[in-house]
Amino acid sequence: MEWGDLRFLLHVVREGSTLAASRVLNTSQSTVMRRIAVLEGQLGLSLFEKRRSGYVPTDTLLGLLGKLEAVEAAHSAFESEARVICRGLSGTVRLTTPELISSHFLKFPLQQFRQLNPDIRIELVASDEYLDLSWEADIALRAGDPPTDGALFGRRIINDTWSVYCSRAYAEANGYPTTTADFGKHGFICIVERARPDRLTEWMNTHFPPDNIVLRHSSLMSAFFSVKAGDGIGICPDMIGMNEPDFIRCMPVDVQTGKEVWLLAHERNRQTPRIRIVLDFLTEHLMKKVQTMRLVMGEKV
């Protein structure tokens, strides 16, 4: 049996006549009658009583009607899902970014994205490693040197500037420095040299009094939480520090790292709808954050 014949059958039941069904189906009455006759022949069943008032379903057809409607619902669901897949607005998008950026920028926007696009699943890989966007991940939000790989495309979000920060609790207990001349009065959190860019490490080694360093961390994540806990003063990317309500920005770090924050994908995915929609959503969210930072800092970042 063809689904088209079953569809004719349902519309005759619902409309009560072959004429009314033909109008809904945008075909001729004779076509509807012929399709019903073919179906009755295939089944070897009488499906309608032909009366002056129209086509009346037989008890046999009424007994089958629930199954028939279930077929219709399944067919409709299949078509709907197929259209979604055809548009590419379903499936999994693998997003990689450092854990600290993930915790500060992506938790709530990804919840909002899921509400707007329930058929797209985000798989978040929180890692400081640069995953290969040709096969390990689809999208990367990363800080570092400007991309030179011609196979990547995306958008620069912000310059990777850094500043000296402390927690509000630390400031209430100890005050906070506004120039390097004040550093001798405070304790500092450092990041070991292999974990950060050389220029920032050199800046810390030059300006933080060695005897005042209370903790050294091997990762930016652990150093961030140490500063947040009030253990001491440390440096932090402005992209993170300016979006942390418990932080006070003491002073900028006068070092040009040449680093930038980029949202990137592989060129082969430029026209993949599910990846494009995630890229567009994150770009809009991040640029709003950057604009707020610029207003607060009163400078171009």
Q: How does pLDDT run across 42-54, given as a tens digit for each residue? A: 889 898 888 887 8
Sheet strand arrangement including 247-252:
234-237, 162-167, 247-252
State the Cα–Cα distance between residues 224 and 109, nearest whole angstrom.
22
Q: Provide the CA 202 distance to its chain's centre, in angstroms.
A: 36
State the Cα–Cα distance between residues 270 and 88, nearest whole angstrom.
12
Does residue 247 surpass a pLDDT of 80? yes
State the Cα–Cα distance between residues 109 and 199, nearest whole angstrom.
33
CA-nearest of 238, 230, 234 to 300 is 238
Q: What does the DSSP assignment read for 91-144?
A: EEEEEEE-HHHHHHHTHHHHHHHHHH-TTEEEEEEE-SS---TTTT-SEEEEEE
Q: What phi and psi values does residue 266 have, to the nearest 5 degrees?
A: -80, 145
State the Cα–Cα distance between residues 20 and 225, nearest whole angstrom.
71
State the Cα–Cα distance between residues 193 and 205, nearest whole angstrom.
9
CA-nearest of 299, 209, 208 to 200 is 208
Which domains can be identified in the chain, with CATH numbers? Answer: 3-86 (1.10.10.10), 91-160+259-297 (3.40.190.10), 162-252 (3.40.190.290)
**Residue 49, CB-side half-sphere exposure with 13 Å CA sphere:** 9
**137-147-293 Cα angle (round to 5):** 90
Tell me the percentage of the chain whose pLDDT exceeds 90. Answer: 47
pLDDT at residue number 300? 46
Does residue 7 surpass a pLDDT of 80? yes
CA-CA-CA-CA torsion sign (293, 298, 300, 301): negative
Give per-residue pLDDT as tens, 121-149: 999 999 888 999 999 999 999 988 889 99
Alpha helix ranges (H) inside the chain = 3-15, 18-25, 29-43, 59-87, 99-105, 107-116, 168-174, 198-207, 220-228, 238-241, 273-297
CA-CA-CA-CA torsion sign (148, 149, 151, 154): negative
Global pTM reads 0.68
Does residue 82 surpass a pLDDT of 90? no
> Which of 233-242, 267-276, 288-297 shows the lowest per-residue confidence on average (mean pLDDT)?
288-297
Cβ-proximal residues to 215 (8 Å cutoff; 6+ apart), any chain: 189, 190, 223, 226, 231, 232
Question: If you search the block for the tokens 């004429």, which residue do you land on?
Answer: 19
Question: If you search the block for the tokens 């949202």, which residue do you land on?
Answer: 263
